[in-house]
Structure 1
Amino acid sequence: MAALLRSRRLLSTLASETELRFPAAAARRSGGAPAASSERRGVQWVFLGCPGVGKGTYASRLSSLLSVPHIATGDLVRDELASSGPLSHQLSEIVNQGKLVSDEIIINLLSKRLANGEAKGESGFLLDGFPRTIRQAEILEGVTDIDLVINLKLQENVLLEKCLGRRICSQCGGNFNIASINVKGENGKPDIVMAPLPPPEKCASKLITRADDTEEVVKERLRIYNFMSQPVEEFYRSRGKLLEFDLPGGIPESWPKLLQALNLDEHHEDEKMSIAA
């Protein structure tokens, strides 16, 4: 009973706080007119997918393409870890054991990020790594309109290779991958080929491995994610907002097909023209 009361208080507090940040969403729920604005807001999309599937890579690319902020809850957690703030020690234990960070912590970090963005005049967002539970999805639905949920999918053995190959430059923070993946397709499915994403020469000697990118921890993260993801996927599928996208390979193969699935083909043509110029 105490846990239920705490949950209800949290939902009420979050809804009240976020109504101040998203008055248009509050007006829609109450049946009133949205706040006056002559500007068209940016897209409000969510990226789902197992750890290591590439949510950050594709969300970051779309962020640049569509001029909306890419908000990755994993980055929010890592920033908090690096800050030596009050949550740093607690988060360190959770992450290194391959466990999921609690809803309360994630929502707290995300609320601060959205408030900072709103103050800077940001419009729209691409959420990466949130929501990951039904409770989070319900909170998000209660305060803002999600246009589309993109569910990136990749078979587990490929995901494991990708995660174990991830590297970060300790100086610039750049993300790279040393894994060279070539998995034969089965049951009529095509082969999956992913070339390494090597660092530039200036970063090559500064690569480090994330503390949580060990085989044991990665497998545990995948197990937990698969267990928890089905209800969230069904939540958005029942609302007609879920786009399932099976990654056919690395970025060169997947990027143009993802843009096609999102009806953004013209942006791809603009990219090619820009590169040619």
Structure 2
Amino acid sequence: MTAMNRFLRSLTSLSSRPFSSLVSEAESRLHNLSLSKSTSRSSQPWRRDPSERNVQWVFLGCPGVGKGTYASRLSHLLAVPHIATGDLVREELANSGPLADELSSIVNQGQLVSDEIIFNLLSKRLENGEAKGESGFILDGFPRTIKQAEILEEVTDIDLVVNLKLRGDVLLEKCLGRRICSECGGNFNVATIDIKGENGRPGICMAPLLPPPHCVSKLITRSDDTEEVVQERLRVYNKMSQPVEEFYRSRGKLLEFDLPGGIPESWPKLLAALNLEDHDHKQSAAA
């Protein structure tokens, strides 16, 4: 992770230059790295033997699909940090300053945050984690573009990419039902989804994720969770995601998982797909 932090920091130090210049330098560094044959991938210090570290996974999926929910559960199960770029953006939005203002404008229009800003936020998060002795990670919401995936590929090993999938009408209902507690920051969902199967399509039921009584009066709706913004976010994501999915599929690292329902239905099936049933049973027994 040390070299990964250095690489990301070197990119963010160029923030005063035009972004096109930053991209050109990143491409040049990637080209130079690919031409370097004298040092094998396995001997690079940030490419630790998987047996000596925790998992390094990526979670992909449309906004609202539940990446954060399942990545967070797995991070607790596997004792690795869950790093969500969406959370990093929201934390920055809570601050004051030019970057927060820029991010607010981008998010409210349903647009994607630039690579430069994401690298900046991720670099700071990785630095803090390294100082705490973290090992492994589950990345949620990154990489979103081919360029991000290429840079990540050059600086660290990704073991597995889990692509969560859910039908579009359900995604829209889920996004519009999202709520946040303004006091504790907890994420909840008030949508009750009960769609009957028809024309060969299976039905899907998802119970709401309701808050505890002390949070009910403090629930707020995210400013970007309007139907117009959500539809635009899904359109942009679908356009950008296909090349990234193919990037990892071609490397044999992509696991596509169709969510069959809510957490009670999906969690055990996801664990089975990841060969983690025994791991979950052992943790439950220890608890």
Q: Report the TM-score when normalising by structure 1.
A: 0.89
Q: Quote the residue 1:218 is aligned against.
A: 230
Q: Percent identity?
A: 73
Partner SS for 2:256: strand
1:182-193 alignment runs, 5 A limit = 182-193=194-205
Residue 240 of structure 2 corresponds to residue 228 of structure 1: yes
Match of 1:133 in 2: 145
Match of 2:43 in 1: 32
- Equivalent residue for 1:23? none
Deviations, residues 74-123 of structure 1 (Å, cap 9, x unaligned)? 00000011011431000000000111101111111111111111111100
Match of 2:159 among 134, 139, 147: 147
- Residue equivalent to 1:58: 70
Q: Choose which of 98, 111, 121 in structure 1 pairs with 2:133.
A: 121
**Structure 2 contact 166–258 (Cα < 8 Å) conserved:** yes
User: Are the counterparts in 2 of residues 28 and 34 from structure 1 also a CA contact under 8 Å?
Assistant: no
TM-score by length of 2: 0.86
Once the two structures are superposed, residues 144-174 of structure 1 have per-residue CA deviations (whole angstroms, 9 ceiling, x without a partner) of 0000000000000000000000000000000
Distance 1:47 1:36 in 2: 20
Q: Which residue of 2 aligns with 1:110?
A: 122
- In structure 2, relative to structure 1, the CA distance for the partners of 1:15 and 1:121 (3 Å cut) is farther
Q: Aligned to 2:94, what secondary structure does the other structure show?
A: helix
The equivalent residue for 1:8 is 24
SS in structure 2 of the partner of residue 8 of structure 1: helix
Quote the RMSD (CA, aligned, Å): 2.5
Q: Distance in 1 between matches of 2:204 and 2:47?
A: 49
The C-alpha deviation readout for 1:195-236, integer Å capped at 9, x for no partner, is 011100000000000000000000000000011110000000
Could you tell me which runs of 5 or more consecutive residues in structure 1 were left unpaired when the two chains were aligned.
20-26
- CA drift of 1:61 comes to 0.2
1:179 aligns with 2:191: yes
CA, structure 1 residues 14+178, in 2 after alignment: closer, same or farther (shift >3 Å)?
farther
Q: 1:261 to 1:245 in 2, by over 3 A?
A: same
Distance 2:28 2:92 in 1: 25
Structure 2 unmatched ranges of 5 or more: 1-17, 34-38
Size of the aligned set, in residue pairs, is: 265
Out of 202, 206, 214, the residue aligned to residue 218 of structure 2 is: 206
